[in-house]
Copies of this chain bind each other. A is one copy, B any other.
Amino acid sequence: MELHQLRYFCAVAETGSFSRAAEHSHVSQPSLSQQIMKLEDELGARLFDRLGRSVRLTDLGKTFLPRARAVLRELEAARGDVVERKDSISGLITVGVIPTVAPYFLPSRLTSFSRKFPQAEITVVEEITPVLLERLRASTIDVAILALPIRGHEFETTPLLTERLFAALPKNHKLAKRRSLSLKDLRSEPFLLLRDGHCFRDTAVAACDRARLHPQVIFESGQFSSLLSMVGAGMGVSIVPEMAIEKKSHCRYVHISDEQATRTIGMAVLRGRSLTRAHHAFLAHLRAT
């Protein structure tokens, strides 16, 4: 049983004639006859009565007609569904983001994207980098926003922005008035850093390593705002990326002038995954803003 046989069958049922059905189907009449006969053979029953002049559905043909039409209708629905979806900017986009970026970077971009493409629905997942990478592999998120670089050639990454790092100091700290400082200047300070697992902790520690500084960590937290409150209370100093600076806190922020004291935010997708137009639109939107 093949689709063209069903089409021919419906055409004959509609036109009441093999010849007209053939014309209608853009095939020769013998070809159509042959396919109808083949269909009848396979079903083991006649679908049409050939009555000299005219052709008429048998009782069995009458019951088969709506079923054949149902098959073809489903087929067209399937095709239509695909061609409609593949070109529309719609559907679900699941984006993963690390906690040290999420609150600062995403909100404005999400709202502008949703305004632009109201058909697209976005879900955000906040996780640390290794979790995001695992979820990219499993395709439970479509794109991850995190700090570059990352390990693993199965991902395709695009840098979005590079930001400077700042020292967060208590208001009355001796270095608080400086325009910039070097990490070495913080040698004797107690440090407040993010908890292990957060990649920005590694970024900060790596920067200290390069400055041959081995910070004495007296407090750890999962979010910058906790660190900054403690810094404001005079407990010690911290290192934050530019986007984490809170104007209204009791801290002072001084640019760290060390070479490579930066953080690069980028996005990553699983290499080889095919993305919908909505996905591409979202990636383009991130690149542009």
Q: Which residues of A contact B (CB under 8 A)?
A: 1-3, 43-46, 49-52, 56, 58-60, 63-64, 67-68, 70-71, 74-75, 77-79, 81-83, 85-86, 91-92, 139, 154, 270, 272-274, 276
Contact = CB atoms under 8 A, between A and B. Distances in A.
A154 to B, nearest CB: 8
A270 B91 CA distance: 58
20 contacts: A1-B75, A3-B3, A43-B86, A44-B83, A45-B82, A46-B274, A49-B272, A51-B270, A51-B272, A58-B273, A60-B82, A60-B85, A60-B86, A60-B274, A63-B81, A63-B82, A67-B77, A67-B78, A71-B75, A71-B78
A13 to B, nearest CB: 13
A86 B70 CA distance: 20
Given A44-B86, A58-B273, 5 more contacts: A1-B75, A2-B3, A44-B83, A63-B81, A71-B78
Contacts of A82: 43-45, 60, 63-64, 67
How many identical chains are in the complex?
2
A85 B65 CA distance: 14
Contacts of A276: 58-60
Given A70-B74, A139-B56, A51 B273 contact: yes
B272 A50 contact: yes
| 5 tightest Cβ-Cβ pairs between the two chains A and B | A67-B78, A46-B274, A45-B86, A71-B74, A58-B274
